[in-house]
């Protein structure tokens, strides 16, 4: 059986729940734009973001229950430059996100791992990173 892959990724997509979809969509529209990621698909209560296809979703939970944060879970977005990582972090804070790790090298991972961590409006941990060529 053959199929067409849309990317080299091993994950098709991930979703985070939100309790305030309009506010969350405005947050992710602004923050992900710093990484050249945009909303490529949306429906009532949900938006899919990507560079070519929807790999990241933010949406109201399908079961109608309250969205909650998963302890130990975070989503990492690939950046194209250190400037993008810095812009991601700054834009998230500007739009109400909370700092969870300022932009910088994470030597505990590898010498060339550069990242920033924030909490979105619902408390989900998100990250932007790149491996800097040395």
The residues facing 26 across adjacent strands are none
Model pTM score: 0.88
Residue 112 has pLDDT above 70, yes or no: yes
Q: What is the mean pLDDT of residues 32-50?
A: 96
Listed as own residue / partner, the contacts of 52-56 with beta carbons closer than 8 Å and 24 or more positions apart are 52/6, 52/7, 53/6, 53/7, 54/13, 55/7, 55/9, 55/11, 55/12, 55/13, 55/14, 56/13, 56/14, 56/15, 56/16, 56/32
CA atoms within 13 Å, Cβ hemisphere of 119 = 11
pLDDT of residue 11: 78
Q: What is the mean pLDDT of residues 114-119?
A: 97
Residue partners of 29: CB distance under 8 A and separation at least 6: 38, 39, 47
CB atoms within 10 A of CB 72: 6
pLDDT of residue 12: 82
Q: What is the mean pLDDT of residues 20-44?
A: 97
CATH of domain 14-60+74-131: 3.10.180.10
CA 18-128-51 angle, 5° bins: 75
pLDDT of residue 6: 47
For the chain, the domains span 14-60+74-131
Q: Between 93 and 11, where is the model more confident?
A: 93
Coil, strand or helix at 86: helix
Residue 90 has pLDDT above 50, yes or no: yes
């Amino acid at each position: 059986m053959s199929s067409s892959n849309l990317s080299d990724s091993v994950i098709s997509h991930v979703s985070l729940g939100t309790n305030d979809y309009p506010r969350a969509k405005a947050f992710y529209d602004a923050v992900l734009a710093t990484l050249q990621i945009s909303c490529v698909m949306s429906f009532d209560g949900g938006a899919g973001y990507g560079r070519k296809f929807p790999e990241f979703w933010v949406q109201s939970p399908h079961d109608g229950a309250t969205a909650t944060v998963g302890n130990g879970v975070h989503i990492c977005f690939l950046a194209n430059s250190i400037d993008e990582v810095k812009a991601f972090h700054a834009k998230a804070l500007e739009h109400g996100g909370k700092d969870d790790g300022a932009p910088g090298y994470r030597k505990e991972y590898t010498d060339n791992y550069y990242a920033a961590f924030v909490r979105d409006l619902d408390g989900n941990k998100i990250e932007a990173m790149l491996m800097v060529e040395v």
